[in-house]
């Protein structure tokens, strides 16, 4: 597993901007299943799964899913 480095709070800010917390490239929407949002980084292949309740994702998630 690779450690993610950066300023405190940067991991969260990247997820809310829909950016990969590891390489900071845009995340791609994969699916919404069982109340979870699945996103993936095409650059480093990191997969992010967030619960729809209290997850770290952009407020305009419906626009990303379309």
- Would you put residue 58 in left (φ > 0), alpha (ψ -120 to 50) or beta? beta
7-21 residue pLDDT tens: 778 888 999 999 999
Contact criterion met (CB below 8 Å) for 38 and 30:
yes
pTM beyond 0.85: the answer is: no
Residue 36, H or E segment = strand 36-41
Q: How far apart are CA 50 and CA 30, in angstroms?
A: 12
pLDDT per residue as tens digits for the range 2-55: 555 567 788 889 999 999 999 999 999 999 888 899 999 999 999 999 998 888
């Amino acid at each position: 597993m690779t450690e993610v480095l950066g300023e405190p709070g940067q991991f969260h800010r990247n997820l809310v901007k829909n950016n990969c917390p590891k390489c900071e490239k845009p995340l791609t929407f994969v699916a919404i299943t069982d109340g979870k949002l699945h996103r993936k980084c095409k650059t480093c292949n990191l997969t992010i799964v967030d619960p729809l309740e209290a997850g770290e994702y952009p407020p305009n998630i419906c626009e990303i899913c379309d």
